[in-house]
Structure 1
C-alpha cells in the first residue's frame, strides 16, 4: 500500500472545515474561495473513496471516517502550530549579534544605543567588537556593520546604508588652526598629519578628491585605531582625517571643526548578513540604520 501523503493544501482545507464546521468559515480563515475548499475536500474523498462530511443545516458534520481523519490531522497541525510559534518566539527573543569595528562601535553605535533600543524593542542586541567583522569568524554574527568598499566578501548579503564621506577635522584648541584657516586646504601639505594604520588610504583618497598631490602629504603621529586618532584630534594634537558620521556629534558640540568639508569616497556604510541567515529583524534594523545615517 502506498504511504504517499495527500496534498497538504487538501489536509489544511479539511482540518479547518472539521474544526469550524463550515466550508465558508474555512474558506474565510484560509483566505480562499468556497469552491477552492470544496475542490480540496473532493480530492481527499476521492482518494479514500468515502465521504468525509455530511450536510447538516447550514454547516457540515463529520462522517465516521471523517472523525478518524480529523483526530489524526488535527493533532499533527496543532504540533506544527506549536512548533512554529516556539521557533518564532525563540528567534525573536534570542540576542541579535551585531559585529562591528571598535571605532564605529564607540563613536557611532553606543551613543545611539538608547534610541535603537527604544525604536526596535524586539531587538535584543549583543554587540561584538571585531576589527574586521566581515572576515571569517568561528562564531558568525547575525549581521555586521562596516565601512567598506566593493568587491564584497563571498557569503555575505550586503545592504547599502549610506555613502561614506571623509574630511580633515581639527580641534578649535589646536595651536595652528588660525594659520591653516588663512591659507586654505593646501596648507595641509605642510602639516604633520595625524593618521591611522587601520585606514592608510584615507588621507590619499581625500587629497585626490580635493585636487591635491597625495605624494606631497606629510605624516606625523600615527595610531592603530581610528578611535584613538579622533581622540587625539579632540585633544588638540593636530589634524586628523575622519568619516563625517563618526565626528558629527563632535562637530555639533564644537569639539571639532571641519574647515574644508568632506569628500565622498568609494566606500559605504553597509549592513552585511550571512547569505543563509533568514531573520525578520534584519529588515527593521536596515531601515533604522538608514534613517540614522541620513542627514536631517
Structure 2
C-alpha cells in the first residue's frame, strides 16, 4: 500500500474551500450561506478555520462587511477555475450516463403561453425530455439544479454565465374581439381600462416613449403577472400591453386582437447557462429549436427592419396610460 502523500494530507477540507470560493464570489458571507443552504455562522466558522489552517487572512472585516485581502483574491481566482474545471469534468462524465431530462427555468408567462404548448413537438422531434420550472429574474444554477434559464435581458447578467440570444422582444396592445369596437383608431383611444402588471410595471411607459402614437385609456387596472393581465384582456376587461410571444396563439385563434401592431422594446430573450451551451447537445438543440419557433412567431407581426419603423404621431388626448390620474 502506498504511503500517504504528505502534501496531499496538508490540503484543507474541500468543503471549507467551497465555502470560501462562494463568499469571495459574492463578496458576502450572507449570500454564500444562502447559496450553500447553511447558516451565516457556519460560513463564518469555516472561513476562520480555513484562515487558521492556511496561516493567513483571506478577508478583512470592516463596516459590517468583508473584503478580500490580496492573497485571498489570488486564492479565490485559482479556486474559481478549479471548481469550474471540476463541474465541467462532472458534466462530461454525466453526458455518458443514460439521458437525463433537460431542466429549463423560464419566465412564468412565456412558460405558460408559449413554451408549454410547444414542448410536445420538441420531444417528438428530438426525443429529449424537458422539465420546466417557472421562474424569473436572476438564477443560481448550482442551488436550483438548472441546465438552462430563459430570460429577458432587462437586468445585469452575471459575467460568469454563458448567454445566447434567442429572439427580440416585441410588445403591443391587445384586447378581445368584443372590445375592439371601443378602440378609436384615428385618435388611438381605447374606451377601456389599461391593464398593467407588477412584474413589468414600466411596459406601458416604454411603449409610449419608444413608439408613437401613445395610447389613451379610461382607467388603470394592475395585476401581479402578465398572464393575469392577458386573461383579463381575453375576458374583455381592458387592453393589455403584451409580448407577441405571449399572445401569438391567442391572436392566431382570434381570441385577441392587436389593433396597433407590435413594436420592439429594445430587449431580447436569452438562454443562460453555467456552462458553454454547445457542450450539452440537449441544451444546444433546445436553444436552436426555441430560437426558430420564437423568431417564426415574431415574423408573423413584424416586417424586416421593423425595429427602425416608428410612427410619427402625437399622443392621444384623454387619460394617458401610465400617467397619474
- Bin the TM-score by the shorter chain: 0.5 to 0.7
Tell me the CA shift for residue 217 of structure 1: 7.3
- What residue number does 2:289 align with? 288
Contact 2:102–2:283 (8 Å) recurs in 1: no
Q: 2:102 aligns with which of 96, 99, 108?
A: 96
Aligned residues: 206
- What residue number does 1:156 align with? 161
2:175 is the counterpart of 1:143:
no
Are residues 248 and 257 of structure 1, via their aligned partners in 2, closer, same or farther at CA, if it must alter by over 3 Å?
same
Tell me the CA shift for residue 88 of structure 1: 3.1
Contact 1:165–1:264 (8 Å) recurs in 2: yes
TM alignment of 1:96-245, pairs within 5 A = 96-121=102-127, 123-132=128-137, 134-136=138-140, 138-149=143-154, 151-174=156-179, 177-185=180-188, 187-188=189-190, 191-212=192-213, 220-245=220-245
The C-alpha deviation readout for 1:218-244, integer Å capped at 9, x for no partner, is 752211011111011111111000011
Structure 1 unpaired stretches of 5+: 1-83
- What residue number does 1:269 align with? 269
Are residues 163 and 218 of structure 1, via their aligned partners in 2, closer, same or farther at CA, if it must alter by over 3 Å?
farther
Separation in structure 2 between the aligned mates of residue 171 and residue 213 of structure 1, nearest angstrom: 20
User: TM-score w.r.t. structure 1 length?
Assistant: 0.63
- What residue number does 2:255 align with? 255
Tell me the CA shift for residue 86 of structure 1: 7.2
> Residue 199 of structure 2 aligns to a residue in which SS?
coil
> Residue 232 of structure 2 aligns to a residue in which SS?
helix
Separation in structure 1 between the aligned mates of residue 159 and residue 178 of structure 2, nearest angstrom: 45
For the aligned residues, what is the CA RMSD? 2.7
Separation in structure 2 between the aligned mates of residue 255 and residue 217 of structure 1, nearest angstrom: 21
Tell me the CA shift for residue 110 of structure 1: 0.9
Separation in structure 2 between the aligned mates of residue 150 and residue 131 of structure 1, nearest angstrom: 11
